[in-house]
Chains A and B, each alone.
Chain A
Amino acid sequence: MGALARTDICIVGGGIVGTALAAALSTSAFASHLKVTLIEGGDLFALPDERTNYFSNRVSSVTPESAKLLKRIGAWDRIPEDRKKPFAQMKVWDALGNGKLAFNAPQTHAASCMGWIVENSWLRKSLTESLGSSVSVLNKSFVEDISSGEGSGLEWPILTLKDKSKIQARLLIGADGANSLVRKYANIKSSGWDYPQKAIVATLKVENVEGNNNDVAYQRFLPGGPIACLPLSANRSSLVWSTHPATAAKLSKLSTKDFASFVDIAFRNPVEDLKYLTGLIQEDGSLPSTVNLEEEAAWGRQRLVEANMNQIGAPPAHTTMPKISGVIETSRAGFPLRFYLSERYVSDKRAALIGDAAHTIHPLAGQGLNLGLLDVGTIAKVIEEGLQSGSDIGNIHTLQNYASERFAPNLGMMLAVDSIGKLFRAESDPIVWARSFGLNMGIPFQDSRTWP
């Protein structure tokens, strides 16, 4: 039987979202007197690789709204300028039809910026540096069990850690991801599905960027899923490529050089080329010696340009895209894609879920982290308001204000992202035609994400 420590708010999970909430509470005039305990299983204080022009393969697209929250917490200005790459435009096009769409940062926006691409490691570092003195961090600590405090004289949840120490909290926040232990304790059901896709990430070397500044994000919808190229610096970009698991397995075996060629082909060539060349990849990841990727790619691209000029009198969308000239060694990694939704965000067992514990979405539109940060902003505000009206912040009536503000918007975004993904995986002609039309009209996107 370990010692029992008491805390006001216990946050399980020191990812970006959990750490952001701890930082937000500890820097609030109304909430900084609360004792906050942040429990992280990994190393919260792992340092990013600071080598110039070297980038981690795990990055996030940060919207201006999220940046505002991070600024308020004090984290944003701690991220060096060369570690937050603004992008002013987003170009999206369809591999099968002729649909293309360009989002521009609104002219009224002072920074003329749609968002920033930031490495997760830097987001995490800036947030841990922003933690106020009211936060106790339990680093590399595992929560073994969570029980209701019934019988302890205080009906607050009790967490038992691996070292058998116990923590009792007025309010328990589950920021512990898709397999949330807090969600299990709170008896909240989560339902959804795994996409028949895997995401491959990597850091790309790019050349011939538009406007010499590499400030455009690109996304092409392939039948297997979207492929995105997000700017990191003048000559580096980040890849997120969602595709069939079998294709992903083949691609991950390719040499770095061949993989770079395949990424370039995936962005620039007709879909048939990608299918044909993927089919040539051997078990060991090599290609038959008779195949010259460069030549195949050049020929296919020429065909695509001619076809486009004949059909619509304009070059295909990819022509303005930078050339993928290489892939950074060891930056390639894959992860499964999921869509999970908790049926509630709060419970009367003094628990609330934020971020991926509440909702896990396809990274298609880069909205996962931003939804999580919106959760943080809202629950921090609800806690502050609760404190100002003398409420018990673990009480369901206080927490309900968070749930009613976030549940519907999150669901809306999740369904929009999911339906865009489904729409673009379809290959049947009417759907391709319709989505090309929709993309050119900006129909599926205008409602699904709002740019400030």
Chain B
Amino acid sequence: MNRVLLRFTLSHWQSTRSLTTAASSSINAEEVSKFAAASAEWWNPHGQFGMLHKMNPPRTKYIRDQVLKHLNPTLFPPSATPAHPFKGLRILDVGCGGGLLSESLARLGATVTGLDASPENTAMATYHVSLDPSLSPPPTFLAEPIEHHLQNTQQKYDVVTSLEVIEHVNNPATFLKHCLQSVKPGGVAVFSTINRTRTSWLLTILAAEHVLKWVPVGTHDHAKYITPEELEGFVKGSGENVQVVDVRGIAYRVLENRWEVLGSEADKKALGNSLGFGDLEMNYIVTVTKGME
């Protein structure tokens, strides 16, 4: 049972991030200082998002590896190097929050656009990228939903990411469809979310909300959690020329205090057999590719 507890979910961090005030797109000094304070919390390594900070490197590494493996070679710009493998790639990060993943993708060389429904989040993310002079070009953050972005810009991306977001949207099938429509032919999309299982109910709702009181009661809606089969169904039903090429569980190793995207079959077997269920019981991450034509 310990191993189950180790693999704790992170989705509740997502829902604690909205602020109460609205922001205009032209940022004034007062707003900046406010965002600076909020950003300090978002980006405080020991704060409430600390676990998300720890989860981010393995997720980014996973995206890196999957993109290098599955992105159609014709989409790779010649400017890519081992240090900046994403140089020249355009990436859309849907539901970017404070910009944690967007910044990491930008450090790998990508030109990143981050979308978030909350203008507070995008303003915080914009403020934070200004703190790192090496983010060049810095990610651009836009406070608009994916469907508006798709309509307004008609822009297609080499890579689209949306991590720990689907379980918070009203219509996941439509949401996924819009994300996949934003992917160029030959491109890659990566999604992560929480499976709807007894384990995830125990850990994210009973434990995190009611017992440990890490997050307010009502943060999660277990009914909205999505199983890998449902996710694959949404992908297939999107009408796009896409297919799921990789599904992995994400586990938290409590003794080593680090997250890990599960890799080998051996890992899956070890966890699956010892606990009586597979490694997709909690958080999982999925790679989708789009055909060329």
Contacts and interface: CB of A to CB of B under 8 A. Distances in A.
Interface stretch (A240-248, A351-359, A389-397, A416-424): A389-397
Contact of A348 (B45, B81, B132): B45
Given A389-B64, A390-B105, A397 B45 contact: yes
Contacts of B131: 154-155
B104 A391 contact: yes
Contacts of B177: none
A392 B54 CA distance: 12
Contacts of B78: none
B82 A389 contact: no
Most A CB contacts (10 A, CB to CB) among B46, B53, B256 go to: B53
A97 B211 CA distance: 63
A273 interface: no
A398 B45 CA distance: 11
Interface residues of A, number: 25
Most B CB contacts (10 A, CB to CB) among A8, A33, A387, A388 go to: A388
Interface string B31-72: 000000000000001100000011011101100100000000
Nearest to A153: B131
Contacts of A47: none
A380 to B, nearest CB: 14
A33 B107 contact: no
A173 interface: no
Given A389-B64, A397-B57, A29 B82 contact: yes
A390 B46 contact: no
B266 interface: no
B60 A390 contact: yes
Contact of A31 (B53, B61, B64, B83): B83
Contacts of B58: 389
Contact of A387 (B83, B105, B257): B83
Contacts of A208: none
A29 B83 CA distance: 7
A155 B104 CA distance: 18
A64 to B, nearest CB: 28
A32 B64 CA distance: 19
Interface of B: 45-46, 53-54, 56-58, 60-61, 64, 81-84, 103-108, 131-134, 256-258
Given A8-B134, A389-B104, A390-B107, 14 more contacts: A31-B83, A33-B81, A33-B84, A170-B134, A348-B46, A385-B57, A385-B61, A388-B108, A389-B57, A391-B56, A391-B107, A392-B103, A396-B46, A404-B257
5 contacts: A348-B46, A388-B61, A391-B107, A392-B103, A397-B54
Interface of A: 6, 8, 29-33, 154-155, 170, 348, 385-392, 395-398, 401, 404
